[in-house]
Structure 1
Amino acid sequence: MKHHTLPVSPATVHWGYFSKQVAPCLTLRSGDRATIETLTHHANDDHERMIAGDPGAESVFHWTREHKAVSRRGAGPTAGPFRLGSGEGIGVHLLTGPVVMEGAEPGDVLEVRILDVRPRPSCHACHAGRCFGSNVAASWGFQYHDLIEEPKPREVVTIFELDTSGEPFARAVYNYIWTPQTDPDGIVHSMIDYPGVQVDHALVRRRENILPNIKVPARLHFGTMGLAPSESDYASSTPPSYTGGNIDDWRVGKGATMYYPVAVEGAFFSVGDPHAAQGDSELGGTAIETSLTGDFEFILHKKDQLGGTILEGLSHPMLETEQQWSVYGFTFPNYLAELGPNAQVEVAQHASLDKAMRDAFRKLRRFLMTVHHLSEDEAIALMSVAADFGVTQVVDANWGVHGSIRKSVFTGT
């Protein structure tokens, strides 16, 4: 077993997509561990607190009229013309990787253990050592067309500070309504429509003393983590799918294990979209988007060794914690295959919790029947009285429902 380190830099991140075509920045063997840095794509909501003075973050977010460190932002063409910015596409998350697993082949399962998660401190002299994150009530949020106060509609950014002394929690520092921002290339962004635009705080009005006397329990986790799919060379980071991706479950943090079916040779693992806290549904469009560093262990399970294990028949992401197993249902289990050439555009037009719930039910039924050898009637009875189904997210185009079963129900007697 070897331990590797993967810092953030323009050479080790890709922005807005999973890909089997990106040159890997790390190759691991089964059993290896890696410390991987991740950055939030919302860091420029408060450049002073989340980027300034941080060499890694500054190198990734560097953008002037003369030079843009990471040009391609989303699963789209590299040649213009562009309306919102160079390299524009579908997908927004900064991902570190890809990490290639030696010997991984389609049909295998990659186990990813999250050993530890740590927030990335601010490097600005005024905020040194403190940690910050951004929550955005955005145009893609569930609330956007259902507001009751003026102005409406509106996008609102709330900056949080994370207290890591003792039991970690977050407090709101201030918020502001998004106002048109002009990027270094002269493009005006009237909405939050292109990732990484630096907010000019001279153009927004900060509202202080918000959410007074409220402490939000920290749930450090990675919102987007998974493998490259086989169906597309560049797949948007926004909709989750059968190889993982933007699942946005706050339980995917320290002590959790995720299992992903391998779709391409090498697996091509990437991780990002780090969060300080999130509730089920991620209702407003984002969590507390912050930058995190994780310690991971990778174990490759070959397809001819899956029988008789909890991974038998696994064709979708699955979470294991000390207390439970969770499967993830989506509107489309594999939207890239189901919706055809325009899948990445069309998937958001069909978002449905009904279909996501149906998919979660079918996946948990399969797990109980295959792994725990229950009959269908037994599995349905157990799900009805002991399983928990919850809304994972309603903001990622391919909406999600998680189905969880506690390990304690299987007594072995």
Structure 2
Amino acid sequence: MNTFMDKLENVLMPVADKLNNNRYLTALRNGFMVALPLIIFGSIFVVIANLPIEDFIGEEAYSTLQDTLGPASAATLSIMGLFVILGIGYKMVEQREGESIYGAAVALGAFLILTPQVVDEVSGVIPTSALSAQGMFLGIFTAFIAAELYQYFVSKNFTIKMPAGVPSAVSRSFSALIPITFTLTIFLAIRIIFDYTPFETVQNFIYTVIQEPLTALGSGLPATLIAVLLIQVFWFFGLHGQIIINSVLDPIWYTLNDQNYQAFQAGEELPNIVTKQFIDTFIVGIGGSGMTLAVLIAIFVVAKSRQMRELGKLGIGSGVFNVNEPVIFGLPIIMNPLVIIPWLLAPVIVAAVTYFSMSIGFVPKPSGVIVYWTTPPVLSGYLATGNHIMGGVMQLINMGIVFMIWLPFLKVMDKQYYEKEKNAA
């Protein structure tokens, strides 16, 4: 067993280390973190605007409530890609210790140059769909390339040097002028070139060649189960599996999430089961990675050893809010062969059961509303499914599955701890 674990560690650790330290994935992850508060703000008002209170206040008042609160989500959640682009551009240049605000500006400018500004034959208008998760793939690539080009021109000293005594804000602005001009000119040339291709726009090219195939792959059950399993494997070796996998798959999951959100707002059938909230609410959002809130409950049921009882008391408070470091490091889970089977198996089974339950209509699909990750289980399931009680019920079922899988392994661990404590006494 130890030999196998050593070999697995030797394979996974270098891969995970490269992913963790890759500057593009780091900028992508941090770019999403910049956008997250705005996304959460918009999601809160979507939830409020869609509370099941129409029968109590009347159809007209309910419609007025939705119209009144609509701008909150329209100005944030509906154009989330815009904030991600700004965040990535900022973080990319910040990593090189450059003028990060110009990284955000040039990323946004490059993206807007590539974006057709026509809606229903009316020119000079930017479609909000291009600024949402639908345009995120192009936005991500554009932000990466624009920030790199900007920093390249800065590093080659293609800048205007202002004399001493000029205010620093003015000096920095002129220093950025030539790098930004060169960068945006390149993107303008790219747009002109695509005008003469069968794709007509860069958006059509990205969607056809990259986004559509990846989104279709990411929305399926097999890819989801592999992602969930990898999260658990990385965590087992002490690496933050959620950050590593999210860095790669968040653009896909957010795109799927946005498709559901648009359908939910329009009152149409939701197209996707797997979305960002499918992962965050029905797997990670039940005590953290590995769904360890159910593990803590099982500890309270079986624990005789003092170590396990104290761990339960220590972890339950934070576990309710999906913070599970006390369990991961206190049980422990990292590099503990006694728990590798339930640790890897439980989330995969839960993902499959939840997917099947949503596919047959037992539980509504995630509505696309972003529920903050610290929201306690049951409440988060209710909110994520468009204020439907079956979302919370599904989370309770998932907790029961995790509880039953972990129970025999916790009994074995508790017996070992108990025997050690007796011998020590």
User: When the two structures are superposed, what TM-score results if normalisation uses the length of structure 1?
Assistant: 0.24
Look at both structures and tell me which one has the larger radius of gyration over its CA atoms. 2
Higher normalized strand content (fraction of residues): 1
User: When the two structures are superposed, what TM-score results if normalisation uses the length of structure 2?
Assistant: 0.23
| Structure with the larger RCO, 1 or 2 (CA within 8 Å, 6+ apart) | 1
